[in-house]
Amino acid sequence: MDGAKRIIFHIDANSAYLSWTAADRLNRGDTLDLRTAPAVIAGDPDDRHGIILAKSIPAKRFGIVTGESLSSARGKCRELLVYPPDYELYMDCSQAMYEILQEYSPVVQRYSIDECFLDFTESEKRFGGAEQTAEQIRERMREELGFTVNVGVGPNKLLAKMAGELRKPDAAETIWPWEIRDKLWPLPVRELFMVGRATEEKLRRVNIRTIGDLAQTDPGYLKTVFHSHGGLIHRYANGLDDEPVTANADIFQKGVGNSATMRYDLTEPEEISRALLALCERVGMRLRRLQYTASLVGISLKTDGFIRRSHQRELSCTTDSTTELYRCSEQLFFECWKGEPIRQAGVFVSHLSFAGQRQLSLFQQDWEREERVDQAVDRIRKKFGDGAVMRGSFANTGRAPLLGGVHEGRYIMMGGYEQ
């Protein structure tokens, strides 16, 4: 079998968004663990973001599923607790998980915000048995970070990931080559990685219902029906995968973005400009927090007719200044706006560099002053909250000085957001 001599871990945070929110609230003195109550993470319906992003196990028992509307979920559970996503918190939790994993191997691959692969092959000499170490990692996550993970162990990435799905939550499992027949093959074929809904339906038509059925089907026939994809899923059904774990220790982001769907369609240039500034506030804060500067700025928009447009521009030098990002974003937006009501707007930056490598322009006269202002504002907001300081253009307007990212202050009431 490919990669039979390797030992690969797959670590997956359980109900990550909800679990991380719950752990943070407990750490701040809350007496209720959201994981024990019918609770969900969802966007504010007043902002037209009312979609379930994560759910607790008690919420799942009411039939609530990820991706459904918040109004539908409330119809299933009148006592539903609703909390907003906090992406800065989630990145912190993800990073904390990643740093613990780095103690066990230098080869850790961040697969997503809540999933990592770890190559334990060489580390076994130091830490001992794979199963014992997997249990140790699971326990450390719970005790040190306050949330639970599933740890799957196998000879390759595929089997490690499949092993982690066998028992949830808070469990460690293995699928070794000699366990494939008993642990992998009885599973419904839809459980196999890379078998989507359309593929599952085609397989069912030819009476392939389990992963074992797929594994024992003639690969030539599968290639005839599914082309190259047929060969891939046949290999996966037999536990074959030779993809390496690729370390991404720096976790260098390709870009930083922020978008928001407006409470109502924006039609006036002044209110559009104010919304862009509120979006740039969050982008600038994220850049500085990550210690990046950017040399490409872009905007996106969606009209009330769901027409999408985007526009971007390369800057003459890198920046993390909120003011500079806003100036460029506003110019870009009004270059491509045709006067329609705006339902959604976004600001994104790319071509990132580390802040210590900042390239300056001779025409950037006030960058030091802007840098000091931004840093002072960041410190105040970090200590007292995002609403502690705002730009004068938001005073007495009733408009949020920051859009996107964290939604605060309107979500702690039983049954959802305050009205």
Asked if residues 93 and 54 have their Cβ atoms less than 8 Å apart, the reply is no
| Structure tokens belonging to residue 214 | 């797929």
| Catalytic site includes residue 122 | no
- Angle, alpha carbons 87-27-403 (nearest 5°): 25
Sign of CA dihedral 385, 386, 392, 394: negative
- The string of DSSP codes covering 347-395 is EEEEEEEEGGG----TT--SHHHHHHHHHHHHHHHHHH-GGG---GGGT
Asked if residues 38 and 79 have their Cβ atoms less than 8 Å apart, the reply is yes
In this structure, the chain runs to a length of 419
Distance CA 238, CA 207 (A): 18
Distance CA 44, CA 417 (A): 7
Q: Three-state SS across 96-110?
A: HHHHHHHCCCCCEEE
Asked if residues 115 and 12 have their Cβ atoms less than 8 Å apart, the reply is yes
Residues 6+ apart with CB under 8 A from 226: 199, 202, 233
Catalytic residue from among 68, 115, 330, 370: 115
Distance CA 392, CA 398 (A): 12
As annotated, the active-site residues are: 115
